[in-house]
Structure formats: structure tokens, C-alpha cells
């Protein structure tokens, strides 16, 4: 069998993924996670001394904590299977990436297993997040120095 | 059945959101400065809700902008702040579009004890300056 023949057979056999349904599921679940996040930030603003400027930190921490607990209980996997990107793109995906890697490598020991593999996936998020934040801050500083925008 | 119910619910939600009246509430409605600030806010078409507190030398205005203008809410707040500062140079003016300030000033509206109001205003000023 030629390579091209194999490819055509393979393409015929592979089921086409339901893109529209997947996008809708991701939109709905991702949106739901954001609604929960908004509710948590309102909770912090109403019952504690947080303003809209400062409420981001505790809200993100809480959301990550919840997703970590759900991952540990094995519930986040189900959500991920159903919603796909909708569960990975919000900050909950970060918590999930950290804990699932830690659980996966638990048998290899605490140092070489959990410790060294915990940030296997989330490490790139941290590195590129920090680098892009630095670049954005640099651009803004230059623009402020030139007098184009103000802080 | 479910579809019909959903349709009615969505229509009701949309209509109730559109029909919401503009609300500007002040701590002391009879105060001259409050009346002027109210006029100033009414002139700006992009403010949906506002709470005005004028006590001694402090002016606190907490605003909520209309949904379509929410991307520019900080600019709207700073514009109003500049206008009020220009008008009352010797007053301590604070205009904010922060939800926390709107919520706290709303609680102030029913407070009768002036000392408590002053304490609360000091606290709000501190909160507004908080960055981290």
C-alpha cells in the first residue's frame, strides 16, 4: 500500500470531531467558571476590604485552590473531558496542570517525582507569563516616558 | 414548554435591564454642592448609577457607568474628578468607578451618626489608594 493510499483510507476512517458542539461546550463551561470567579470576587468585595483593583489576587488564589481540590478528587478530569478548552483556558486549568502532574509522578518519590515534575506543564505558563509581563511593562514604561500614555 | 419558558424569561430579563431607571442617590439631598454635582453627573450621559456623599471638606462620588462604556470607566471617573476638583479646589474630592466604593457609599446613605460617616470616609479614601 502506498503512503497516499493509506492517508486517504485513514482520513475516511477517522470520525470528524463535532467542532461546533465542542466550541459551544467550551464556551458554556468556560463562561460558567468565569461567572463563579465573578461571584467569588463580589464575595470578597462585599464581605472583606478588597476593591476591584485588589480583588484579583484572592479570587485567583481561591479559584486555583478549588480546581486543585477537584483535580485531587478526580472530578476535574470529567469536566475536562466534557468541556475541553473551556476547562483548560481559565486559571483553573493552571491548578489542574500542577496537581495532575504531581499526582502522576507520586510513585517516583517526593523529591524526584512530585517536586521535579509538579511544574512540568505549569512551568511554561509561569515562564512565558513572567516574560510577557516584563515585555508589556517595558513597552508601557517606554510609552509613558515618551508621553504617549499615562500610568 | 421549556423553550417557551426560556424565551419568556430571556425577554423579561432583557426588558427589565433596559427599563432600569437612572439612579443618583445623595447623602444629603438638600446640600448645594450635592445638587451641583448631581447636575454635573446628569450632564454626562454615560453614568448609570451614582452615590454622592458630601461631608465637611470631603466629596466622595461613586459611579457605575453604563454597560457599553465600561471599558472607559476609569477615564470617565477621572474626567468627573477633574471637573469637580476644578470647581471645588479646597475640597478633598474622590471619584471612583469601583464597585467596592459604590457598595460602601450605598451603606452610608442610611447612616445618621456623622462621626461614623467621617470614619467611613477616611477608610474609603485609604481603600481607594490601595494598590496591592
| Cβ neighbours of B102 (radius 10 Å) | 19
Query: Considering only CA atoms, which of B21, B68, B29 is closest in space to residue B46?
Result: B68
Classify residue B14: in a domain, yes or no.
Answer: no
A95 and A56 in a single domain? The answer is yes
A40 and A110 in a single domain? The answer is yes
Domain of B120? 21-129
Contact B102/A at CB under 8 A: no
Judged by CB atoms closer than 8 Å, whether chains meet at A51 and B132 is answered as no
Tens-level pLDDT at each residue, chain B (132 residues): 667 766 777 666 666 665 555 588 888 888 888 888 988 888 888 898 999 999 888 899 999 999 999 888 888 999 999 999 998 888 999 999 999 999 999 888 888 888 888 898 899 888 888 777
Total structural domains within chain B? 1
A81 and A144 in a single domain? The answer is no
A88 and A61 in a single domain? The answer is yes
Contact A48/B at CB under 8 A: no
Domain of A151? 122-151
d(CA A114, CA A40) in angstroms, rounded, equals 30
Classify residue B58: in a domain, yes or no.
Answer: yes
| pTM reported for the whole predicted model | 0.79
A60 and A38 in a single domain? The answer is yes
A14 and A47 in a single domain? The answer is yes
- ipTM computed for the complex: 0.76
Amino acid at each position: 500500500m502506498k503512503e497516499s493510499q493509506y492517508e486517504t483510507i485513514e482520513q475516511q476512517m477517522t470520525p470528524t470531531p463535532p467542532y461546533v458542539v465542542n466550541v459551544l461546550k467550551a464556551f458554556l463551561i468556560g463562561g460558567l467558571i468565569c461567572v463563579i470567579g465573578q461571584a467569588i470576587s463580589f464575595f470578597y468585595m462585599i464581605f472583606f476590604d478588597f476593591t476591584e483593583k485588589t480583588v484579583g489576587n484572592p479570587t485567583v488564589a481561591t479559584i486555583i485552590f478549588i480546581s486543585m481540590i477537584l483535580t485531587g478528587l478526580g472530578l476535574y478530569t470529567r469536566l475536562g473531558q466534557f468541556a475541553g478548552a473551556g476547562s483548560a483556558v481559565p486559571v483553573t486549568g493552571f491548578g489542574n496542570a500542577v496537581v495532575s502532574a504531581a499526582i502522576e509522578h507520586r510513585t517516583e518519590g517526593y523529591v524526584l517525582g512530585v517536586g521535579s515534575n509538579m511544574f512540568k506543564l505549569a512551568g511554561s505558563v509561569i515562564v512565558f507569563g513572567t516574560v510577557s509581563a516584563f515585555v508589556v511593562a517595558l513597552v508601557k514604561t517606554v510609552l509613558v516616558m515618551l508621553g504617549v500614555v499615562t500610568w | 414548554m421549556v423553550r417557551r419558558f426560556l424565551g419568556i424569561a430571556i425577554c423579561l430579563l432583557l426588558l427589565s435591564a433596559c427599563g432600569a431607571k437612572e439612579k443618583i442617590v445623595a447623602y444629603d439631598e438638600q446640600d448645594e454642592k450635592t445638587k451641583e454635582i448631581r447636575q454635573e453627573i446628569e450632564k454626562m450621559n454615560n453614568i448609570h448609577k451614582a452615590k454622592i456623599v458630601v461631608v465637611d471638606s470631603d466629596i466622595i462620588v461613586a459611579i457605575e457607568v453604563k454597560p457599553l462604556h465600561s471599558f472607559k470607566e476609569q477615564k470617565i471617573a477621572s474626567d468627573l474628578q477633574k471637573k469637580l476638583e476644578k470647581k471645588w479646589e479646597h475640597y478633598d474630592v474622590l471619584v471612583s468607578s469601583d464597585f467596592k466604593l459604590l457598595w460602601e457609599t450605598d451603606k452610608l446613605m442610611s447612616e445618621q451618626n456623622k462621626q461614623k460617616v467621617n470614619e467611613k470616609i477616611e477608610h474609603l479614601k485609604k481603600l481607594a489608594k490601595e494598590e496591592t
